[in-house]
Amino acid sequence: MKKNTLFILLLCLMQMTAAKAIKIVHGPYLQDVGETEATLVWLSDSTSIGWVELFPDDGSNAYLRTRPRYYDTTIGIKREGRIHSVTVKGLKPGTSYRYRVFAQQVLSHKGIRVHYGDIVATEAYNVALPKFTTLDTSKPETSFLVVNDIHQRNELLSKLLSMGKVKSRDIVFFNGDMLNIFDSEAKFFRSFMDTAVKEFATDIPLYYVRGNHETRGQWADRFHDYVCPRKPNIYYAFQQGPVYFICLDTGEDKPDTDWEYSGITDYDNYRTEQAEWLKGIVRSDEFKKARFRVVLGHIPPFDNQGPVWHGAQEVSDKFIPILNNSGIDLMICGHNHQYGYRDKMKGCDFPIIVNSNNGVLTANTHGDKLHVKVQEADGTVNLEKDY
C-alpha cells in the first residue's frame, strides 16, 4: 500500500514538473480608461486566473512592498480562462499609475478543489513598468489620433502611428476594419493588435470603434471579449479634456437580408436600439457643457463615389437627425477607402471627414480651436483645418 501511494505521489510530481510553463502571449493593452477607472486586457496560453498589481508613479521599486491586487472576477468568483480583463476602480483623474499583470495556471478544478500551477507576470526586474494616465475632463487641452481600414497591414499601421507621433497623444482611436475577417483569435492579434501593443497600447488608452469587417467571421460574436470587455456595449461616450467623444457602432454596410450574411445579422434593430441611447447622450449635461463634441463612426452617411449603401442610409436616417442641432463640431469616419470631406451637407449640420485606408488623422485642441490634420502615408496632406 505504501509503495502504491509513493508511486502515485511520484507520478503526480512528475506531471507537475512536466507541465508546460504558462506564458502571457498577448497584451496587456488598455481599454475603457476613464477618470476614475481603467481596464487592462491580456491573454495567457493556458487556463488561468489573473490579476493586476497597481503601483503609484513615484519611482519606487516594484519589490519595495506588497502592492494592491485587483482580480479578474465575475459575481465574486475568480474567472478561469485565457482571456483576462480587470477594471481597476477608485483612481484619481489625470493621474499616472504603473502596473503589472499576472496569470496563474489552473491545472485542475474538481468540486471545491483547485490545483494551481506556475505564475507568470509582466517583467519588473530592472525595467520600467508600463504606465497609464487616467482621463481628466478638467484638463485644458488634449490630443488624439485616428486610423482606420488597416485591413491587416501591420507595416502600414506602424508607419501611420509614427507619422502621427502616437506617443505624444492622449488617446488613440481605431475607427474600424482593422482586419479583413474575424475568424480566429490569432487573426485579431496577428492582424494589428500585437502591433498596437508594441507601439503604444500598454501605455496610451485605445478606443476601438467597430467596423463592418469586424462583424464578419465565426469569431465576430466574441469581439466584446477583447474590446470594452467590462462595459455593457461597444458603443459608448466619454470626455477627455475639453472634447466629448461619441463612438458609434455603425454595423454592416448591406441589408440584414443580404445573402452574404447567411441570415446571421440583425443590425437594423441594433442601430435602432443604439439611436435611443444616443438621444440620451445628446441631452446629458456632460455633452452640453463640453467645449468640443466629436463623433466617430466607421460608416459615413454618404459614399465618396456614388449612391449610398444600406449601412450609410441607416446612419443617415437613424443617427444624423439626433446629432443635428446638438452642436457637433466634427464627425470622423472611414470605410470608403478614400479621403472625403463634407462641410455640412443636405440634412446634416456639421462637417464630416472620411479618413482613407492609408491615412492618419491627428487633432489637438488650442483654446477655442480644434486643429485637425489628415495625412496620407506618402506624406500628402488632405486637410489641415481649425474647427
Average pLDDT, the chain: 94
pLDDT (tens digit per residue) in 308-346: 999 999 999 999 999 999 999 999 999 999 999 999 888
- Whether residue 42 contacts residue 54, with contact meaning beta carbons closer than 8 Å, is answered with no
| Domain locations in the chain as residue ranges | 22-133, 143-386
- Sorted by sequence, the CB contacts under 8 Å of residue 198 that are 6+ apart come out as none
Angle at 223 between CA 84 and CA 52, to 5 degrees: 15
Task: Please choose, from the candidates 180, 144, 145, the residue with its C-alpha nearest in 3D space to the C-alpha of residue 161.
Answer: 145
Q: Give the CATH number of domain 143-386; options: 3.40.50.720, 3.60.21.10, 2.10.109.10, 3.20.20.70.
A: 3.60.21.10
Q: For residue 347, is pLDDT > 90?
A: no
Chain position carrying cell 498589481: 53
Report pLDDT for 19: 59
Tell me the pTM: 0.93
On whether the 22-133 domain is CATH 2.60.40.10, my answer is yes
Tens digit of pLDDT for each residue in 45-99? 999 999 999 999 999 999 999 999 999 999 999 999 999 999 999 999 999 999 9
How far, in Å, CA of 22 to CA of 26, rounded?
13
